[in-house]
Structure 1
Amino acid sequence: MSPARILIVENDPLLAQAIALHVEALGYQVAGVLARGEELLQQGMALNPDLILMDIMLDGAIDGVETARQIQDSLDVPVVFLTAYSDEILVKRAFATAPFAYLQKPLKEHELLLTLELALSHHRNKVQLLHTQDELEKQVAQRTAELVAANQALQQQIAEQQTTHTALQRFRAMLDHSPDAIFLIDRATMRFIDFNQTTCESLGYSREELLALGPQDIKPFYNQPMLEQSFDEIDRSPGRSGRIDTFHKSRQGKIFPVEIRLRALESEGRLIMVAIARDVTLKRKTELSLRESEEQFRQFAESMQQVLWIRDIKTQALLYISPAFEKIWERPCAAVYERPRLLLADLHPDDREFMTRAMQQLWAEPCRMELEYRLLHADGRVRWLRMQTFPINDEQGQAYRIGAITEDITVSKEHGEALRLSEEKFRRLFQSSPIGISLVSPELGLMEINPAFCAMLGYGMEELRDKTIADITLPADLQSGTELVQQLFSGEISSYTLEKRYVRKDGESFWGKLHAAVIRDQLGQPMYVLGMVEDIDQVKQAESLLLAHEAEQRNALVREVHHRIKNHLQGVIGLLRQHIPNEPLCRSTIEEAITQISSVAIVHGLQGRDADSAISLPDILTAIAAGFRGLVLSGFDAALNNTLTFVPRITHKEAVPIALALNELIMNAAKHGSGAAQITLDGEVDRVVVRITNPVQEPNPDIRSGTGLELVRMLLPRQSTTLSLACDEKGFMAEIVLMPPVISDAKKQQ
């Protein structure tokens, strides 16, 4: 006898090896050494141990007690627990799994030997006891079956005796309940002498009424001489039997077809005709439906492009084959009816062996089967076919015929091969392309990424599979790119090209040129977006440098132009000032023109500092106010009170109109006022208020209709400015409210 196999489960490797040496020294075979309960659950059956030595305290998710509980259903072997602990709760849990023994570490060799022997002996005795118990139960069951069989035989004998006693009664009852009408006719009198209950029910007569009638009274198309002649012919026939297809007429006048089987008998010197009539109304309808069904089947089979054939399982004879056979096989149908094996005669040599095996299996066990094979025509052409077989069952559910539908799939095979080659080309292009390629799901996840794209982003391929386009796109470019992808999936666009910034794994960004298109299935539903990315970071850097250089050159030129315009305007102002002493009557008009030209010169001077920057509103107001000093507008002065904590700026486009409007309002404050004007700046970042006030000696309610003020309204942009004017006892007041976009992003100018 081979030594018992001991499986050791111990998480301490040194201790496990020591236990293994002890076990082998005691003459046992070590089936294996495992460190975790999960390993025992996975490998226990394969290791086939006779006994398990298992430490209670194991590493992993489950300890030795839980492992023993779970292994009980799959391994019927004794378990001996090993532990260095004696915790009461642990011991209770351990004994709940019914171990054979519980040994404490360190192990003693004689205790280990005694425990192993007792455990193995106890388990063998347990197995033997169970085996003996099974044998006893089988013997008891066998004896019980014999007694039951004997009792059944006795009961059968009693039933046969009772059956014989009631045979005549049952036979009469059977006749009355037969679905067929049964008559006994006296040939001499041509009257009914007996019949069953079905006869009365089918004809609608009572028993008394039928006894007064004869067969000629219920047959609408036979008279008595015709019936007598038929009965005599049957009586003279060799078997004294025959069959008539005729009609019966009920008492209510209903005529229905019947099939009658007749037999002539002699009884007490009389000739008796026994007639069994079956109503075949349903049969006739079924036959008609069957003929119609067969015609429909014939039309369907002859019009279908596939080949339909039906063969008998016992004889393997071909019962039917559709005309499509001649088109595919290029043989006449008549030939295959004579030789059904022609169905497989033109097989491609490479397919003959497996098709022969498949057909042998089909005849042995009729079943549904799908086979693809090739025909080889005499001229060398190859035709791919797909055959689907199916069993045809009889009324008992047994297969008695085999049918098959065979279709020509040559075109689809060729298309499939072309598709495979196309996919292979795409896969090679995808893998070897120097530009980045990705497939994006409708959820905007990265489905597939080629090596070039991985290299651009600095990720491994597996790292990118769990990411979305949001993870690799610079946040500033995410919204526009996401909207375009969603438009692809919704069908609003079919493709797009976009320059955007991507984010590498190390956090650095780079420019890429993305060409994206949606890929749809055969039903037109979007499957994924194909994106191809070119790294254009160096191109973008070069473009940025070029644009910066061009902008610098343009700004220098524009600044020079503004500077020259300002100088020319100041020259005009100087010329006008020279005319003031010579033209005292025009002095006010000339000075008004000087202030207007000065405001324009101021703007050009400010723009000359930086051609692309917006112009400081406080600088404009300060310069305009300063321009009024020294003019004939006696005693007029304007002070600027700036309460703002930020610098509001006027856009480059609106700087000159705003400056002219402010100049006109300050000019009106000088004309209508009588002292020093006050210019106040307040408001918020997106709503700046310029307020010009000056005391007056006399109110002027018509101030809103002046020509100069109409000019102010025309100069101010309607969408982003408002103007209010008043000249009453409180004084002159003009207020302009400036809002974006006339006011540039002031937050950046703080």
Structure 2
Amino acid sequence: MFGPPASAALLDLVSDPVLTLRADLSALRANPAAREWLGADAAEGWRLLRHAAGMRLEAWLRDAVIALDSGRQPPPAPPLKLADGQRATLQLVRDRPNWLLHARLSPADPGEPPLVEWLALSPLPAVLADASGALLRRNAAFDALSPGSPRHLNDLPDLLQALLGWHHGAPLAALAAQRLQDPPLVTEAEFVDPQGRQRWLQARLRLWRHHGRSLLLAILEDHSTLHERDLAHQQLEALMDTAAVGLATFQPEAGWLKAHRKGSPFKTGAKQSIGSLQGIHREIVEPGSLPEFERLQRALKKGDPVEVRYAVRHPELGRRWLLTRVTPGQLAGGRRTTSVVTLDVTAQAQAENALLLRAESERTVLDSVLVGIVTVGPEGIEWMNRSARRMFGCELDDVRGQPMGVLAPEGESEHPFHRAEPSHDVFECRLRGRDGREFWVIGNAVQTPREDGPGLVTQQLTYALLDIDRRRQAEAQSRQAQASLARIIEAAPLAISLHEAQSLRIVKLNQTAATMAGRSEAQLLGGSPAALFGAEQGEQVAADMREALASLTVVQREYRVPTGQTARMWDTRLLHLAGVSGDDAPELLLLVASDVTEQRAAEQARLQAAISQRELLVREVHHRIKNNLQGVAGLLQQIAARRPEVAPVLREAVGQVQAIAQVYGLQVGASGPLVLKRVFDAIVGSVQRQQGRITTTAAEGGALMADWCLPEAEAIPIALSLNELLGNALKHSDGAQVRCQLLCDLTGVTVEIVNPGRLPEGFALQNIRSGVSGLGLVRALLPRRSAILSLEQHHENVVCRLELIPPSVVHNPATKASS
């Protein structure tokens, strides 16, 4: 009986392919003939062969295994037809614990088409694969697209897989639904070959089915040259369409040499008559443009040069304006020809219409302004807006064509309206309307050139006149408003001052403001804000004033102004007065202040009284809570004395109640957070008294001991946690000494408790569930993010560390304020 090495050596001498299969029929070893048949990776080749053969091979393998294991003759193996035309006959032999698969290969049928030869002769890249994606055959042209000897379609680049109709490990749905009579599926894509050249490839795909087996045949063609040609045509057509130009050439003996391009916006049908111009039929020409269109047709027939502009109504593009130029010429040999260029000038026509509409719109706007506007041309007055007509009390028809001097008062020969050359400076003059009303205006005249025709430029004068009477009335009203404001400022019981916006200098103030500063009005005028509020607050007041100027809203501040031995509190409001004194006047800042010293003192007194009352109530409540908790602890101790069976549980509860009572006892008379050192000492003392044992305590941190405090919300949970951790250490120390120390640094506080003992085997703190006692209570009480609890074995001692960081601990407000 040969061992495995000897069997392997014998199999290597066999000329037929022999595979050693495992119990699951996967390939374990292969002799040289099998590797030559299935490839260097024989295991992968056997898997692909099974997948390609389908259910026939799988069913035979299953039946043969069952028959051989039961001692029966296995069924004959189904003949396998390979892609190269060869046939394989398989035989399965039991070689425990494995199987031996013997394959006898027969040459290809000479009557079948030599597929390998066809692929080798084809200059186009071609590939044959089965439905699972395994590459069965490919030619050299295909290998040039994807070097590296791929064995599966998944090994190809993604773009090449898409060209071959392979997507996510399966053929495309269009290939799967392909019928025999359907044309092959065509795909196209731009592909960069291994040489770095960009090639536009087209693939023709066919999924061939025969006796339950599917094969994918693909042939690729390089359409790069055709693609570049089509792209050039598209770019040329896009350029022509963008330029909106139509080109054509007409010869009398040959007709139109080049018709309008396909897809032209002016083509109305598939058939074009000789009498039409590049697809422009008479039916789509606007009725108003028909004479021009007829002139164009006559020029075409006679071969005369002409340039015609006309409008058409296109069924898709709507109304369009076209400009056609006809240029006759002569070719070599004396043949006459006519070149026709048609431009789409719709945009130019629309621009001209827009200019007309804009001019009309500007006239409408000028007609609605309050300034009187009069335009004068070489023939006299041409136009007046509504304000000018109302100003002079006449209509345009009354003065049209007359000189501007007709609107000047009689007898004033030096009036600006009589000047031959108008001055560009602003002038002020008196006018008399046709209704007899006299008034003064301020205005100016502007001379501009104007085109009245080809090569004819004339000068046009435009007068702009403003009725000064209305401005004078407005100025009078402004003066009255300023006078009223001055009286209000002087009589108001508030301190009021006006400051220049740029320099913040005082420009006006009332007597109350002067009294607030303790100086006279003459001394304060022109001074800075420091003159009103003192040098100490002058910079702050100036900064608040600039904030009010920038925000344009009311800014409210309170300032403490020293007055002799005392100080007064002034509630101040700052407001930016933008443009209240006219456009020419500087911007101002209004300051209004009221004395709220007595009001603030009364509010402070009420606040202090309320705080004192609250602290008294809190101290009384904490004192009563402490007494009640100590009473509860006493009752629990009495019950523990009478009921020994529950004494341990009650003593644990007594310790917890005493810890809470200690916290409330420390809060009596205290305001704000509790100093952590005091809580630590109180809890340690309470546990020692209850357990009847003495622990060794220490504290490190110096001045930081008084700096770290417990917030009110965290005091009781942390006190209970310390009580449980210390009591637990005493309970498990077996009477030995327990050390407890408090370590303080700049980042936080650490409580370390060390007791002799050993942790249970496999102890993990995270496995302790939350409960009402012991470590479960500690895990339930401690905050998750600002408290870190650890319990570790160190030699013969158990070390418990509780690290507290903000916000579980905070800095003492008293020490923070003093520092």
Which band: TM-score by shorter chain? Answer: 0.3 to 0.5
Structure with a larger share of its residues in helix:
1
TM-score by length of 1: 0.47
CA radius of gyration, larger in: 1
